[in-house]
Amino acid sequence: MLELPEPDGVLSAADVKEVAADVIGQLPMEGIEGSPLDSGDIWPAVTMASVNQSSVWEVTSQTDDTPCDDTVMDWLHTLQRDQLEMAASLLFRHLAMTILDPDRSRIVSIDFVDNPYHGSAHEDSAELCKTTPTDGTTTCHRYCTAYVVSNGKPVTLALTYVRSDEKEADAVERVLDRVGTYPFEIDLLLADRGFYNERVIRRARDLATTVIPVQKKGERMKDKLATHCSYMTTYRMYKDSERELRFPLAVSVSYQNGDRGKHGEVVRGYVACDLGDRTPTQVERRYRKRSAIETSYRLFRQARATTTTQDPIVRFAFVIVSFLLENLWLVLRWAVVARPQRGGRDLPEQFTFQTFCDWIRHELEEELARRWEIEMNGVGVPDAYASAAG
């Protein structure tokens, strides 16, 4: 499925572009019956828009060997969510297992990715989810992701589209089901407080040791957090009901000594499944490993195409392409560029994600025949303006 360049000699921009084209080209697209084109004519334009952080219209208007933007978008509108998501899952798995040792346990984090959206729904309102006010809007397209917490290999493992007419726990279970098929053991599963949900906690603890911050709701939880000393206890969610769920609760008290201009005592609670023998400080320290997720999301946004389309599946496809490009960069950086050394591999500082995108852009500009000239108007500056300018 993935043919990497031989790790001798040099890695070229052409090599990078070819591997990217092979990966992105495996995303299924039904296309338009009777059209002389195929998906191989469409995905390069999308990839170019991604590495440029621009739109399909901008790419097609500046190149000679691409279809017009209406044609590209017509083809993209034939994408089917289920087929797209299934193919993406297989690609994520293949890329991840190219560089992850199946015999080594991993820390995995799950999260929601919200892309703010200012328009109206394409077909029904359930396409959009509510989010905190961002960029002047409270609506977004939402995705649930899982990725490996690692300094050298923070690869995305799974991704799914979330609708507002389904329970978020359903989307989380889809992602966790896919993560559960990976051959490596999961040492620790981390999630933010948005995943503080009975169904999510049950599914997560069945998969691995789990840490999730609690939400400060309900009198019983508020009483547990009304303390000045760290301690471990047991909490009963939905106490005395059929849905009752018991889990270890780590209550950690720390102090902000001028950190970010803040002072005073901070009390945080954590679901700590299978960590009942640890101290609250140890639980909190393990949860902080999750902070690396922001780096992964910052990189993914550096290769995301922009669009004005209302179609949520096209927007979902652009997000998939972005995460696949990030994963591919991680694979190439570790597998064919990083040099082996004692204790691991020396990751090259010069082969950044921006460099990776620049190389693909450079090759696609030539392949798609980007125009580097534009016809002049034949008039220039009017004589009256020229004389006034001296």
CATH of the domain at 70: 3.90.350
pLDDT number for residue 384: 83
Q: What is the DSSP string of 1-43?
A: ---PPPSSS---HHHHHHHHHHHHTTS-----TT-S--HHHHH
Residue 302, in any domain of the structure: yes
pLDDT at 265: 87
Residue-wise pLDDT for 59-93, tens only, equals 999 999 999 999 999 999 999 999 999 999 999 99
Mean pLDDT along residues 128-133: 92
Rounded mean pLDDT, 367-373: 95
pLDDT at residue 311 greater than cutoff 70: yes
Residue 270 lies in a domain: yes
Give residue 243's pLDDT: 92
User: Which residue is associated with the tokens 């102090």?
Assistant: 255
Distances (CA, A) of 258 to 63, 142, 252, 263, 268: 54, 35, 19, 5, 18
The conformation of residue 104, written as its DSSP 8-state character, comes to S
- Section 238-252 average pLDDT: 94
In a domain, 366, yes or no: no
> What does the pLDDT average to over 44-48?
98
Mean pLDDT, range 155-170, rounded to an integer: 95
Residue-wise pLDDT for 249-296, tens only, equals 999 998 877 666 677 889 999 999 999 889 999 999 999 888 767 666
Q: What is d(CA 257, CA 288) in angstroms, rounded to the nearest whole number?
A: 18
Q: Which domain holds residue 314?
A: 13-359
Q: Three-class SS of residue 55?
A: coil
Judge whether 388 lies within some domain: no
Q: Give the whole-angstrom CA distance, residue 255 versus residue 267.
A: 9
Q: Is residue 333 part of a domain?
A: yes
pLDDT band at 1 (very low <50, low <70, confident <90, very high): low
**Residue 32's pLDDT is what?**
94
Give 45's contacts (C-beta < 8 A, 6+ positions apart).
56, 59, 60, 63, 66, 67, 72, 368
User: Does a structural domain hold residue 137?
Assistant: yes
In a domain, 5, yes or no: no
DSSP states of 163-194: -TTS-HHHHHHHHHHHHTTSSS-EEEEEE-GG
Q: Please choose, from the candidates 47, 70, 61, the residue with its C-alpha nearest in 3D space to the C-alpha of residue 370.
A: 61
pLDDT of 276 reads: 84
pLDDT value for 150: 86
Per the CB < 8 A criterion, the answer to whether 232 and 280 are in contact is yes
Q: Is residue 381 part of a domain?
A: no
Whole-structure pTM value: 0.93
Is the separation of the CB atoms in 246 and 271 below 8 Å? no
Report how many domains make up the chain: 1
Give alpha helix (H) positions in the chain.
Answer: 13-24, 39-52, 56-61, 69-76, 81-99, 168-179, 198-207, 219-225, 280-287, 293-300, 312-332, 353-367, 383-389
Could you report the per-residue pLDDT of 176-216, keeping only the tens digit for each?
Answer: 999 999 999 999 999 999 999 999 999 999 999 999 999 98
Instruction: Assess contact for 199 and 177: CB atoms under 8 A.
Output: no
Region of poorest pLDDT, from 115-119, 263-267, 270-274, 369-373 = 263-267
pLDDT value at 318 more than 90: yes
